A and B are shown apart, each in its own frame.
Chain A
Amino acid sequence: MSYGQKVDIIDIDYSWGLANYVRAIDGVYLVTLFKSVVISIITTALCLLIAIPVAFYISFSSTKIKSILLVSILLPLWTNLLIRTYSLIAILRTKGHVNNTLESLWESANHVLNFFRLASYNFIGESFIPLSLMHNNFSVILGLCYIYVPFVIIPIYLVLEKIDRNMLEAAYDLGANHKIVFFKIIIPNISVGITSGIILVFIPCLGSFIIPELLGGADSQMIGNIIERQFKSANDWPFGSALSFILIYITIIILGVRYVYSKLYSRLYPGNIS
């Protein structure tokens, strides 16, 4: 279908031309595609930054605390994605929980200043200006991170569990400090989990459309939103298919990179690649 052309509301002319692909790599779509990649990269990086310490903390906790922490990581996944996204809206919107909290803080601060007769100097502004946390790139990235961070924590936690604690002790015994143990011993040994986590976050991020739709503004559209619009409001299925295929090609390339990477690693851990 992606090689056809729309001729009517419901008719498609299968002309086997590349016109849709040419249109797809044209300015505005390419920019959106590039932006989607950037947002996905930022999200993945943030997820990693959050997930590695969290996975470490869980892995080095006692058995009892470990199971409680793991359940609390997995529990949100039982809730529908839409509901979790809406709950973020309740937190972030102009009259949401964050701004309400900040406003009450501002008011108490203002009362204190009033008490000292300093309010007229406007140290903290004349009135409370709510932060615009919604409908921008920030809210989209925050939403994506919130939804996808468990998918990074779990694989990293699993490989961390497999690490021989004696090996870490051996490194200390040979004179290594915490930094060397972390970068020279732990990171190389959990890299399989890190790559799995990256793949598990990056690919769905790239194609996500619900989160940017609900949390994003006009400026933070991702390629998923454009594809969705082609199939629905624009009713241009051939072009939507072409965009989808481009997304699939990108995904395949990423998976290919991971395959090559895991091939390199299979020499290290024969039969240990998930």
Chain B
Amino acid sequence: MIKKKTSIELKKLNKRFGNITAVNDVSLEILENDFFTILGPSGCGKSTILRLIAGLEAQDSGTIIINDEDCSSVLANERPVNMVFQSYALFPHLSVRDNIEFGLKLKKISGDEIKIRVEEILELVKMVGYDLKLPSELSGGQRQRVALARAIVNKPQIVLLDEPLSALDANLRMEMQQELVNIQRNLKMTFMLVTHDQDEALSISSKIAIMENGKIIETNTATNMYEYPSKKFSAEFLGRINIIEGVSSVIDNQIVFNSDTFGKINLERNIKLPKDGVLGIRPEKIIIETEINKQKNRVSMNGIITNWTYYGDMSYITIELVNETKVYINVQNIHRNSLQELNIGKNLYASFDVNDLIILEK
């Protein structure tokens, strides 16, 4: 496989606002054509990273390399990136067409070329026929499309998206997520997105970096980040997880994890467990059974349903074990009839495969 080119490289980036460290020693490498997402709770500094890359904020220290060029001290209007803002930031006094043309005109591109590109982009974002409207005459989703068009019409190699979908309602958001992915694949651009929405991050990114308190905790592909996270924070932030605490020991060349809640768990794996490591199991990997499961590799437990939340397609169930540990289980509502069995107070068994256990560093 040919090694992909690096689009953006951040080296030991730091940024403080007064007493708050927004970006703390961040180093990142984003490859060409990646759909890279920084995921983190609000206020963790993820937007600041984007603003540093765009040049809208000056870093205290560190290097920003864009397309093999050191852009650390290049002004915002000369960086080869374009940004889509959370508030869209369209120019209210200009029509959709003028908004989209704004960047092209500044680049001194010929009138014919501008016309062709604007038509292309209007088609791409499905806004043909809206070119003479003003932003105030458009709906939220349409404004979002214009904001995206205004950025990508300049054909930057890198597009920065600062929570672009957070103002849209759920259905529209899903639709726009899909469109973003399609546009990114068609145009072969590097997209860098910042969001606090886990589902959005999982569904559209090729790579996810999880951020907390100004630091990048972990970077991985989207599926690996969910299935094989290595840090407790990233496992808990990206989806729900049951954490099992305990002490590990090696017996017969195999790791046995001794937990207060689940007893002895034979991991059937010969890997080194990190010091003060914990185990995690995703709620959907646990199944509900009527009797104890004695199959090899399965950990079975007995408990009482204490909470049941109904989501239509899924049920989120909490069962309480004898030792008062709470276990979260997600069940697909496959049959209508089976819903009656999920009464609160019902005693049942739940089990999971040890191979689905995730080993996490605290």
A residues in contact (CB < 8 Å) with B: 164, 166-167, 169-177, 180, 185, 188-189, 267-270
Q: Is the CB of B93 within 8 A of A189?
A: yes
Chain A residues whose CB sits within 8 angstroms of the CB of B81 once the complex forms: 173
Chain A residues whose CB sits within 8 angstroms of the CB of B75 once the complex forms: 172
Interface positions, chain B 27-77, Cβ under 8 Å from A, are 54-56, 75-77
Contact A171:B107 (CB < 8 A) given known A176-B77, A267-B134, A269-B136:
no
Q: Is the CB of B78 within 8 A of A175?
A: yes
CA gap between A241 and B77 in the complex, in Å: 59
- Closest-CB distance, B81 to chain A (whole angstroms): 8
Q: Is the CB of A166 within 8 A of B85?
A: yes
Q: Is the CB of B154 within 8 A of A170?
A: no
CA gap between A267 and B83 in the complex, in Å: 27
Chain B residue with the shortest CB-CB distance to A188? B93
Chain B residues whose CB sits within 8 angstroms of the CB of A180 once the complex forms: 106
Interface positions, chain B 73-112, Cβ under 8 Å from A, are 75-78, 81-83, 85-87, 89-93, 102-103, 106-107
- Closest-CB distance, B304 to chain A (whole angstroms): 52
Q: Is the CB of B56 within 8 A of A172?
A: yes
Chain B residue with the shortest CB-CB distance to A173? B83
Q: How large is the interface on B (under 10, 10 to 19, 20 to 34, 35 or more residues)?
A: 20 to 34
CA gap between A267 and B56 in the complex, in Å: 31
Q: Is the CB of B76 within 8 A of A169?
A: yes
Q: Is the CB of B136 within 8 A of A171?
A: no
Q: Is the CB of B103 within 8 A of A174?
A: yes
Chain B residues whose CB sits within 8 angstroms of the CB of A172 once the complex forms: 55-56, 75-77
Point out which of A172, A176, A270 has the most chain B C-beta atoms below 10 A from its C-beta.
A172
Q: Is the CB of B106 within 8 A of A268?
A: no
Chain B residues whose CB sits within 8 angstroms of the CB of A175 once the complex forms: 77-78, 103, 106-107, 154
Q: Does B150 contact A (CB under 8 A)?
A: yes
Chain B residues whose CB sits within 8 angstroms of the CB of A185 once the complex forms: 91
Chain B residues whose CB sits within 8 angstroms of the CB of A166 once the complex forms: 85-87, 89
Chain A residue with the shortest CB-CB distance to B135? A268
- Closest-CB distance, B80 to chain A (whole angstroms): 10
Chain A residues whose CB sits within 8 angstroms of the CB of B107 once the complex forms: 175
Chain A residues whose CB sits within 8 angstroms of the CB of B55 once the complex forms: 172-173
CA gap between A43 and B102 in the complex, in Å: 35
Chain A residues whose CB sits within 8 angstroms of the CB of B93 once the complex forms: 188-189, 268
Chain B residues whose CB sits within 8 angstroms of the CB of A170 once the complex forms: 83, 85, 89-91, 150
CA gap between A270 and B137 in the complex, in Å: 9
Q: Is the CB of B150 within 8 A of A174?
A: yes
- Closest-CB distance, A63 to chain B (whole angstroms): 14
Contact A167:B77 (CB < 8 A) given known A175-B106, A175-B107:
no
Contact with A along B217-246 (1 / 0, CB 8 A): 000000000000000000000000000000
Contact A169:B82 (CB < 8 A) given known A175-B77, A175-B107, A176-B77:
no
- Closest-CB distance, B43 to chain A (whole angstroms): 18
- Closest-CB distance, A170 to chain B (whole angstroms): 4
Q: Is the CB of A173 within 8 A of B56?
A: yes
Contact A173:B54 (CB < 8 A) given known A188-B93, A267-B134, A269-B136:
yes
Q: Is the CB of B106 within 8 A of A169?
A: no
Contact with A along B99-136 (1 / 0, CB 8 A): 00011001100000000000000000000000000101
Q: Is the CB of B150 within 8 A of A167?
A: no
